Homo-oligomer: A and B are copies of this chain.
Amino acid sequence: MALYVQKFGGTSVGSVERIKAVAEKVKTFRNQGHQVVVVVSAMSGETNRLIQLASEINDDPTPREMDMLVSTGEQVTISLLAMALQKTGVPATSYTGAQVGILTDSAHTKARIQRIETDELRQDLDNGKVVVVAGFQGVDDDGNITTLGRGGSDTTGVALAAALNADECQIYTDVDGVYTTDPRVCSRARRLDSITVEEMLEMASSGSKVLQIRAVEFAGKYKVPLRVLSSFAEGQGTLIVADDQEDERNMEEPLISGIAFNTNEAKLTVLNTPDVPGVASKILGPIADANIEVDMIVQNVAPAGDYTDFTFTVSKADYRQTKRILEESIVPSLGGGEVRGDDQIAKVSLVGVGMRSHAGVASRMFRVLADEGINIRMVSTSEIKISVVIDEKFMELAVRALHTAFGLDREDVNEET
């Protein structure tokens, strides 16, 4: 007998029929003798509906009232799922975040979990009940309802699994696992049986949307075995293993686990910056002050002269504002220079713990791209990731070429473009 925490997202509970399907899936596990805690999100579309209502009333409501409002979304789902389970003959009880005792700080709309009371849950489980918990929400010390921010239901699932010392936290989504890259871009993409937490984090921060970064971090920190699988199809999904378990994986695994990419960023370059200490902070300080997040940063080593080029990327949404800040205040105060920007770029990242022990991944990556005639605009590396910025129009070509070159293609797919 195992204890599973199963989390179902908004699409998986998006209609009466899908809620019934989730109940059947949970029932199957329970009938195999397992204990099950289910965490659910709001039905898809519901959170947006509520936010829309609020926006028609007040364009700047207090975060406390926003949390009061949107937390109703999950409360609807937990009661409906408990009813669906009861209908199939499975005893079930639902709990809001506050009821289950998911205690958070008071940072409304982005609260962090501080501790979870599990006594009542355990008692219900020991009495043969399935427990249904509202994801995404908690309660602070003063009894105010808080939310963990968008996607926080994954975090609720992992945190509950950690608190209950569950055997596995299963995240059911609309994809059947983690892929070597996005199958919509590369038809030869392959589902991974497993991936390490570290790789998953790099994949997520590089554009793969399967899991919330916070949930993966949480799973890594508390050593919660985490599995991503499909709500709609059978299959084993992808197991996300703690980093120290990586050795157990097949030695024949390729160097690279996956290729992530995104086109959400724009690149800005300040040309001819004086190459003196403090320049980077002079450039980035006012940008951080404007609450603009910077992703990649590259500063070329100054050649003979005293000037250098400073390049960084920001979210496309922040592109115009960043350019204005650079042109109007930063560059003049640095004494001249020129700002160049490009928002037609893509970032493509190779991710894999195998890189640690194998040299030459970067040079092989650059050669593959060169062979396809793709110019590299920026490079940044971490211990298990290499990211390049290229022209947006080459993105699909780059992903497919790298996917094949690094041995990630499915074996059962014939050559296609």
Assuming the contacts A75-B72, A75-B75, asked whether A82 and B53 have C-beta atoms less than 8 A apart, the reply is no
Assuming the contacts A50-B76, A99-B143, asked whether A64 and B93 have C-beta atoms less than 8 A apart, the reply is yes
Whether, in the assembled complex, A65 has its beta carbon less than 8 Å from a beta carbon of chain B, the answer is yes
One of B53, B58, B93 near A86 (C-beta < 8 A): B58
Binary contact track A48-85/B, C-beta < 8 Å → 1, others 0: 00100110111001101110110110011011101110
Count residues of A near B (Cβ-Cβ below 8 Å): 36
Whether, in the assembled complex, A87 has its beta carbon less than 8 Å from a beta carbon of chain B, the answer is yes
Tell me the nearest residue of chain B to A20, going by C-beta.
B57
Q: Give the CA-CA distance A53 to B13 in the complex, in Å.
A: 13
Q: Give the CA-CA distance A96 to B69 in the complex, in Å.
A: 11
Whether, in the assembled complex, A3 has its beta carbon less than 8 Å from a beta carbon of chain B, the answer is no
Whether, in the assembled complex, A153 has its beta carbon less than 8 Å from a beta carbon of chain B, the answer is no
**Contact (Cβ within 8 A) A76 B72:** yes
State the number of copies, please: 2
Tell me the nearest residue of chain B to A99, going by C-beta.
B143
**Contact (Cβ within 8 A) B75 A68:** yes
**Contact (Cβ within 8 A) B57 A19:** yes
A82 CB to nearest chain B CB (Å): 5
For A16, A80, A83, A145, the residue with the greatest tally of chain B CB atoms inside 10 Å of its CB is A83
Whether, in the assembled complex, A109 has its beta carbon less than 8 Å from a beta carbon of chain B, the answer is no
**Contact (Cβ within 8 A) A80 B99:** no
Whether, in the assembled complex, A238 has its beta carbon less than 8 Å from a beta carbon of chain B, the answer is no
A253 CB to nearest chain B CB (Å): 44
Assuming the contacts A65-B94, A66-B79, asked whether A16 and B53 have C-beta atoms less than 8 A apart, the reply is yes
**Contact (Cβ within 8 A) A80 B62:** no
Tell me the nearest residue of chain B to A82, going by C-beta.
B65
**Contact (Cβ within 8 A) A86 B61:** yes
**Contact (Cβ within 8 A) A80 B94:** no
Tell me the nearest residue of chain B to A54, going by C-beta.
B83
**Contact (Cβ within 8 A) B87 A68:** no
**Contact (Cβ within 8 A) B68 A79:** yes
Within 8 Å CB of A65, what residues of B? 79, 82-83, 86, 94
Within 8 Å CB of A96, what residues of B? 68, 145
**Contact (Cβ within 8 A) A84 B57:** yes
Tell me the nearest residue of chain B to A94, going by C-beta.
B68
Q: Give the CA-CA distance A57 to B54 in the complex, in Å.
A: 29
Within 8 Å CB of A94, what residues of B? 65, 68
Q: Give the CA-CA distance A65 to B93 in the complex, in Å.
A: 8
A402 CB to nearest chain B CB (Å): 47
Q: Give the CA-CA distance A98 to B139 in the complex, in Å.
A: 13
Binary contact track A322-344/B, C-beta < 8 Å → 1, others 0: 00000000000000000000000
Known A54-B79, A62-B83, A69-B75; 5 more pairs at CB < 8 Å:
A50-B76, A57-B84, A58-B86, A62-B86, A96-B145
- A residues with CB within 8 A of B: 16, 19-20, 50, 53-54, 56-58, 61-62, 64-66, 68-69, 71-72, 75-76, 78-80, 82-84, 86-87, 93-94, 96, 98-99, 143-145
10 contacts between A and B (CB under 8 A): A53-B80, A58-B83, A61-B83, A62-B86, A64-B93, A65-B79, A68-B78, A69-B76, A69-B79, A71-B75
